[in-house]
Amino acid sequence: MKKVVIVGSGVVGLFCAVRLRIAGAQVTLLEAEAEHPSPFGPIASAAAAGMLAVLDAVPSPHEQLAIESLKLWRELRPGAEWADGVRFDGGVHVRANADDAQNFFRNAQRLGLDVSALNAGQARKRLGLSKKLENAIFVGDEGTADPQRVLTGLAMQARAMGVVIEYHRDVENVTQSAVMTHDNRVYEGDAVVLAPGVWATEKLMRAAPALKHVQPAKGHVVAVETDATLGPNLHAPDFYMVRRREDVVIGATMEPGRYDRRVDESKVDALLDAARAFLPGEVKAEGRAWAGIRPMSPDGWPVVGPSGDVFVAAGHSRNGWLLAPLTAEIISAYVFSREIEPAWAALAPSRFEAS
């Protein structure tokens, strides 16, 4: 049986663990932090909003991969330990003007998505708002994952399948076939997968040079109170609003180069002001705000594939939740030397090394 050691138990490492186990590997997952990650801690996956939104403002050559990953979410959910943490209620995208809305609509149609233009009253009804919204497009192919619930559920699922998960194991050194922790434990494997988010050290980067391409971008998220029922995610021009299992959040700032997770009240106020201006009288601060650090790649798409003597699954930027199931599929194909589809190969680290 192939032995695989994975470093990092964010959403990417956890999905890789489950997928590799299904493929028949004996999997050990090592995590530096404690079990039960908090949105206030360093794990980006726990701080995220959790939208599974395939469309961004700017069209990209990799959109089909996002659609493929959303499809995997739908296929993997039935019966999974985390099933009650994921919904597929779609998203309402409000664009700046009618032309912009039309372009967005055409792009969604071109991709074969379930999409419809909403008049102002329909948008209000769909989101359960008081205010009518102009230039709104409904995308049915969109979902939401509650980060806390799904991270916990994924760890439960992995353990139930036989994955060994060890917390408080800070990996200091890596070779092709072994991983060493800060307390001098050695874990041997036939393959090593690094999924450290934005937190790779110099030593990890020496083992996997692709990790050098991953840079931080801080993002604030603010919990709010609202009477809006939501269901679908709301993507307004200057913020988004998402209902999760236990809260509603608005987000998120984009602050490149920042590793600190200090909550900056001016950023929180700016998000709240944007939400209050867009939906007068409908949004109040709930009292919690936090900041997470996204692992950004130069083009905003993940870096997945061989680097040095190991495999990397990192740099998921703003879409790590959405793209984690597909990442796991690709990593499993690399580890078991299965065929790599051209669209998957396009995410390999070599795309940066060639330029």
What is the contact surface with ligand FAD in residues (CB under 6 A)? 7-13, 30-33, 42-45, 47-51, 169-171, 195-197, 199, 204, 219, 221, 251-252, 292-295, 314, 316-322
Nearer to ligand FAD, 113 or 204 (CB): 204
From the list 81, 50, 17, the residue with the least C-alpha distance to 248 is: 50
Nearer to ligand FAD, 19 or 124 (CB): 19
CB of 220 to ligand FAD, least distance (A): 7
Half-sphere exposure of 83 (CA within 13 A, CB side): 8
Nearer to ligand FAD, 267 or 351 (CB): 267
Nearer to ligand FAD, 197 or 335 (CB): 197
Q: Are 331 and 304 a contacting pair, CB within 8 Å?
A: yes
For 259, residues 6+ apart whose C-beta sits below 8 A from its C-beta are: 198, 216, 218, 293
Quick one: 298 exposed, middle or buried, by C-beta within 10 A (0-12, 13-18, 19+)?
A: middle
Nearer to ligand FAD, 3 or 131 (CB): 3
CB of 83 to ligand FAD, least distance (A): 18
CB of 36 to ligand FAD, least distance (A): 11
Q: Are 204 and 313 a contacting pair, CB within 8 Å?
A: no
Nearer to ligand FAD, 189 or 196 (CB): 196
CB of 120 to ligand FAD, least distance (A): 26
β-pairing, 51-53 vs 142-145, is antiparallel
CB of 344 to ligand FAD, least distance (A): 17
d(CA 218, CA 197): 13
CB of 194 to ligand FAD, least distance (A): 8
> What letter does residue 196 receive in the DSSP assignment?
-
Secondary structure of residue 265 in the 3-state scheme: helix
